[in-house]
Chain A
Amino acid sequence: MSGRGEVQAGALPPGVQSPGVQPPADPDSPLFELPEELAIDTGIARRVLTAFIRAQLRQAGFERAVLGLSGGIDSALVAFLVAEAIGPDRLLCVLMPYRASSPASRADAEDVVLRLGCSSELVEVTPIVDGYFGHDGVPGAGGVEALGASALRRGNAMARARMLVLYDRSVTWRGLVVGTGNKTETLIGYTTLFGDSACAFNPIGDLYKSQVRQLAATVGVPEAIIRKAPSADLWPGQTDEAEAGFSYPQLDRLLYWMIDKRRSDEELAAMGFEPAMVDRIGQMVATSEFKRQVPPVAKLGPRTPGVDYLYPRRRPGSARR
Chain B
Amino acid sequence: MQPLRIALAQLAPQLGLLDANFARHHELLVEARAAGAGLIVYPELGLTGYHLQDLAAEVAMRADDPRLLALAAETVGCSAVVSFVEESTDHRLFIAAALLEDGAVRHVHRKLYLPTYGLFDERRFFAAGDALRAVPSRLGLGVGLAICEDFWHLHVPALLALDGAQILVNVASSPGRDVAAVNAGGLGTAVSWRTLLRTYAQLTTSVVIFCNRVGVDESVSFWGGSMVLGPSGDVIAEGPFYDEALVIADVPLADVRRERIGLPLLRDERPELLARELGRIVAERAGLADDSTAMPSSR
A-to-B contact residues, CB < 8 Å: 37, 39-41, 43-45, 47-48, 51-52, 55-56, 59, 309-316
- A48-B176, A52-B221 given; A312·B16 CB < 8 A: yes
Least distance between A253 CB and chain B CB atoms (Å): 14
Do the beta carbons of B16 and A315 come within 8 Å of each other? yes
- A41-B183, A44-B186 given; A51·B51 CB < 8 A: no
> Which residue of the partner chain, among B16, B54, B179, B242, contacts A41 with CB atoms under 8 Å?
B179
Do the beta carbons of B187 and A312 come within 8 Å of each other? no
Across-interface contacts of B51 in A (CB, < 8 A): 312
Least distance between B121 CB and chain A CB atoms (Å): 9
Most chain B Cβ neighbours within 10 Å, of A39, A51, A52, A316 = A316
Do the beta carbons of A52 and B55 come within 8 Å of each other? no
B241 within 8 Å of A by Cβ? yes
Give the CA-CA distance A52 to B17 in the complex, in Å: 19
B249 within 8 Å of A by Cβ? no
**Which of B30-38, B210-218, B255-263 lines the interface with chain A?**
B210-218
Closest to B125 in A: A310
Closest to B216 in A: A55
Interface residues on B, range: 20 to 34
Give the CA-CA distance A40 to B176 in the complex, in Å: 13
Across-interface contacts of B16 in A (CB, < 8 A): 312, 315-316
Least distance between B161 CB and chain A CB atoms (Å): 33
Do the beta carbons of B180 and A312 come within 8 Å of each other? no
Least distance between B67 CB and chain A CB atoms (Å): 16
B88 within 8 Å of A by Cβ? no
5 A-B pairs, CB-CB below 8 angstroms?
A40-B179, A41-B180, A41-B186, A44-B176, A55-B221
Do the beta carbons of B242 and A313 come within 8 Å of each other? no
Across-interface contacts of A315 in B (CB, < 8 A): 15-16, 55
Do the beta carbons of A314 and B15 come within 8 Å of each other? yes
B52 within 8 Å of A by Cβ? yes
Give the CA-CA distance A51 to B176 in the complex, in Å: 13
B182 within 8 Å of A by Cβ? yes
Closest to B53 in A: A310
B181 within 8 Å of A by Cβ? yes
Give the CA-CA distance A52 to B52 in the complex, in Å: 18
- A43-B186, A44-B179 given; A312·B218 CB < 8 A: yes
**1/0 contact string of B1-30 vs chain A (CB within 8 Å):** 000000000000001110000000000000
Across-interface contacts of A43 in B (CB, < 8 A): 186
Do the beta carbons of B53 and A39 come within 8 Å of each other? no
Across-interface contacts of A47 in B (CB, < 8 A): 241-242
Closest to A260 in B: B178
> Which residue of the partner chain, among B15, B180, B183, B216, contacts A52 with CB atoms under 8 Å?
B216
> Which residue of the partner chain, among A40, A55, A309, A316, contacts B180 with CB atoms under 8 Å?
A40
Do the beta carbons of A310 and B54 come within 8 Å of each other? yes
7 nearest A-B pairs in the assembled complex, by CB-CB distance: A41-B186, A55-B216, A39-B181, A44-B186, A310-B53, A316-B16, A40-B179
Give the CA-CA distance A313 to B217 in the complex, in Å: 9
Do the beta carbons of A45 and B179 come within 8 Å of each other? yes
Do the beta carbons of A51 and B15 come within 8 Å of each other? no
Across-interface contacts of B179 in A (CB, < 8 A): 40-41, 44-45, 48
Closest to A58 in B: B216
Give the CA-CA distance A37 to B181 in the complex, in Å: 8
Give the CA-CA distance A259 to B67 in the complex, in Å: 46
Across-interface contacts of A37 in B (CB, < 8 A): 180
Closest to A215 in B: B179
- A41-B179, A44-B187 given; A314·B221 CB < 8 A: no
Closest to A38 in B: B180
